[in-house]
Amino acid sequence: MHADDGQPAILVGVSGSGASLAALRWAAVEARRRDARLRVIQAWEPRPARAPYAAATDDDSSAGTAAGHLARLVRATIGSPADAGIDVEVVAGPPERILVDASADAGLLVLGSGGQTSFTPAVDQQAERPIGPVIRACLSHAHCPVLVISPAVAAEQEQGRPALAGTAR
């Protein structure tokens, strides 16, 4: 499944969190297994303009800076995107809208959950925490199946064990 043969890609949303990097690792393995194209997206929202009287600070909010940071994260997590034919994009806008819109051209959307999701059992007797607004919006509005990588799956990845994950839609 490559872009040139009209087949959908595996889409993964990356925020830079440990959970989103676990989702990136899982999606990369699955894309190789399926011989699918991997599309990595990070939503970018510029900081609001400062008042003219506000002190100047180092502004890390440029799109170019965000794209460079995402490319470094991808390279450190799964290797060189160019070598593997991976599409890496920084798109301006709210993450919920960016991922839902991008899911129209995807066969699967993969996201990482930093906390316990409401559909997984609590790990280590932690209290269950609800899923965040990005995952909730994607589960409700995505145009393809959505897979959420839980903290337990991420921990198994870190220990080198094969991870089992389920889809939710």
Q: Which run of H or E residues covers position 93?
A: none
* Predicted TM-score of the model (pTM): 0.75
For 1-25, letters b (16+ CB in 10 Å) and e give eeeeeeebbbbbbbbeeebbbbbbb
Q: Which run of H or E residues covers position 72?
A: helix 63-78
Question: pLDDT tens digit string along 95-146?
Answer: 999 999 999 999 999 999 875 444 444 444 344 556 899 999 999 999 999 9
Question: pLDDT tens digit string along 46-84?
Answer: 776 666 776 655 554 577 888 889 999 999 999 887 766
Residue 67 maps to which CATH number?
3.40.50
Classify residue 160: in a domain, yes or no: yes
- Is residue 85 scored above 90 in pLDDT? no
Least Cα distance to 41 among 92, 3, 117, 107 occurs for: 92
Dist. CA 67–CA 35, nearest whole Å:
25
CA-atom Rg of the chain in angstroms: 17
- Other CB atoms within 10 A of residue 164 CB: 8
- The arrangement of strands across the sheet holding 38-44 comes to 87-92, 38-44, 9-13, 106-112, 146-149, 167-168
- Is residue 3 scored above 70 in pLDDT? no
Question: pLDDT tens digit string along 139-166?
Answer: 999 999 999 998 776 667 666 655 444 4
Residues spanned by the domain of 152:
13-45+61-131+146-168
Dist. CA 105–CA 81, nearest whole Å:
20
Classify residue 50: in a domain, yes or no: no
Instruction: Write the CB contacts of 54 (distance below 8 Å, at least 6 apart in sequence).
Output: none
Classify residue 127: in a domain, yes or no: yes
Classify residue 85: in a domain, yes or no: yes
Classify residue 152: in a domain, yes or no: yes
Classify residue 159: in a domain, yes or no: yes
The answer to whether the beta carbons of residues 104 and 143 sit under 8 Å apart is: yes
Looking at the structure of the chain, the number of domains it has is 1
Classify residue 84: in a domain, yes or no: yes
Query: What pLDDT score was predicted for residue 11?
Result: 97
Instruction: Write the CB contacts of 103 (distance below 8 Å, at least 6 apart in sequence).
Output: 11, 109, 138, 142, 143, 144, 146
Categorize the per-residue pLDDT at 8 as very low, low, confident or very high, splitting at 50, 70 and 90: confident
Query: What pLDDT score was predicted for residue 2?
Result: 43
Question: pLDDT tens digit string along 16-56?
Answer: 888 899 999 999 999 999 999 999 999 988 776 666 776 65
Query: What pLDDT score was predicted for residue 49?
Result: 61
Dist. CA 108–CA 169, nearest whole Å:
10
Classify residue 3: in a domain, yes or no: no
